[in-house]
Chain A
């Protein structure tokens, strides 16, 4: 136990810095993934043919082993001299986050009660008004569930980003493995788990806060 305390005393600021780095990497990736995934998911509800194709591609993306995808990023980004570091890791995480976000947005909007949609059209709402006033608010919990899945997946996969020099909590784990240092491995893993729980807790709070009371159940 003493050893633990000593270890943490020495490494506390580094662990903190790496956690922040990890959070920034994942946070930035999720933000961009949202900007792509949510509008795309909404658009796909109007185009069944494209929906099938896009959802399949996104599914395939998720089945690529993370270490392989990160590996593929290196030669691709070497072309523009960004082979290792933040950018390739960021792009890989954006790709991983797409499926849960697109699929949940698509499904949520599709599943809005047709009678509710009918009423919205019948009252004379334009498509965009219908989307923002009726469809998105009522689809919100399911869209949020997709975002939460994406965040947790990304925090986990973000560990691998250390291998291509993107930093983050993966650094502790990879160093621990190469040096055979269990303290580093355990600290890194626990920090990742705690980060995931905090992030999910925060998103649950947002979800509860902005879900219309009447559809919360």
Chain B
């Protein structure tokens, strides 16, 4: 758990980067710090592991004031992932991943086992990649290694500073999904900086939207999309925010609430889509008119029904816009 209590950052010369921010990241949650560039999101993140000093207010980690801890020990207990160049080119992949365990003095055997386990987590072979150097890996692989390096000593808290920002969109989505899977297993408390709205909606349990160092809104993604508290929030998420919010819902949710259409075996030009697909992608698919009929199937391939633009629109209208309570993700 990370608690920000009137946290403030003022630089010498009087520029205030973060102004009295208050919020709590609950255990096991991913909170995304989102906002335009220069809003103070990276500064706020770096204050947690004291790469930036705290000018005023407090940051508590699991109830302990971060300033009361030794900065070196504090950092070893917090996983840290950055966008690029975070891996050390002079070390092999295994040495890179095992830096923190090494600093903590783990035994060789324990490190070896841990490395293998972490590599399994990201489906990379520890034998094949362990002795290689970072430049021999693709960008996506390097970023995965960056993530497991942060997880190496099993820290309760992770800070991620635009970790997937340098990747191309296709790889990025894949790694985001993979990371969400890992998170289900490891259940870390994560603070994640992003400037990408789609990424924030995808990854976040809650979003902190910042502007000029001030917290504008702290809410779940769906709440923020559906009920922005201010004009700034509304504009930030854009006119298509209703469509964006669809990525928080799957076809299964739609099926449970308003049901699917009958499908017609007679139509030849048909494509299928998995019931766990999110509605935003489904809608894009429907709008692209890739086929005359889109049939929803479950994991076993059973046909559950057809989906149409009308149904998605209906769901959007009645279930997202009109729903009074929060729609929790996942």
Q: Do A and B come from one complex?
A: yes
Enumerate chain A interface residues (CB-CB to B < 8 A). 113, 115-116, 118-126, 129, 133-134, 137-138, 212-215
Q: Which residue of B lies closest to A136 (CB)?
A: B90
Closest-by-CB residue of B relative to A127 is B72
Give the Cβ gap from B166 to chain A, nearest Cβ, in Å. 11
Residue B237 is within 8 A (CB to CB) of chain A in the complex: no
Residue of B49, B87, B103, B136 near A122 (CB, 8 A) is B49
B residues less than 8 Å from A129 (CB atoms): 103
20 further contact pairs, Cβ within 8 A, besides A118-B51, A119-B88, A124-B74: A115-B83, A116-B86, A116-B89, A118-B82, A119-B85, A119-B87, A120-B88, A121-B51, A122-B82, A123-B99, A124-B73, A124-B100, A125-B99, A125-B103, A134-B88, A137-B88, A138-B88, A138-B89, A214-B133, A214-B136
Cβ < 8 Å to A, chain B residues 92-115: 99-100, 103
Interface residues of B (CB under 8 A from A): 49, 51, 72-76, 80, 82-91, 99-100, 103, 133-136, 149, 159
Secondary structure at the A interface, as helix, strand, loop or mixed, is: helix
A97 to B172, CA, bound (A): 50
CA distance A118 to B51 in the complex (A): 8
Say whether A215 contacts B90, CB under 8 Å.
Answer: yes
Residues of chain B within 8 A (CB-CB) of A213 are 133
Known contacts A115-B82, A214-B135; is-contact A124 B75 (Cβ 8 Å): yes
A-B pair number, CB within 8 angstroms = 68
Task: State in angstroms the CA–CA spacing of A89 and B129 once bound together.
Answer: 52
Known contacts A115-B82, A134-B88, A214-B89; decide if A123 and B133 are in contact (CB<8 Å). Answer: no
From B73, B83, B100, B135, A123 is in contact (CB under 8 Å) with B100
Q: Are B90 and A137 in touch, CB under 8 angstroms? A: yes
Pairs A-B, 5 closest by C-beta atoms: A124-B75, A212-B90, A124-B76, A122-B80, A137-B90
| Chain B hits for A123, CB < 8 A | 75-76, 80, 99-100, 103, 149
CA distance A133 to B99 in the complex (A): 10
Contacts of B159 in A (CB 8 A): 122
Contact between B88 and A133 (Cβ–Cβ < 8 Å)? yes
14 chain-A/chain-B pairs, Cβ below 8 angstroms:
A115-B85, A115-B86, A116-B85, A116-B88, A118-B82, A119-B82, A119-B87, A122-B75, A123-B80, A124-B73, A137-B88, A212-B89, A212-B133, A214-B136
Q: Is the CB of A134 within 8 A of B75?
A: no
- Kindly state the separation between the CA atoms of A113 and B134 in the bound complex, as whole angstroms: 15
Tell whether A214 pairs with B51 under 8 Å between CB atoms, given A115-B86, A123-B80, A124-B103.
no
Q: Does A121 lie within 8 Å of B75, measured CB to CB? A: yes
Q: How far is the CA of A215 from the CA of B72 in the complex (A)?
A: 28
Report the bound CA distance from A137 to B96 in whole Å.
14
Measured between beta carbons, the chain A residues less than 8 angstroms from B73 are 124
Hey, which chain A residues are within 8 Å of B49, CB to CB?
122
For the complex, give the distance between the alpha carbons of A122 and B149 in Å. Answer: 12
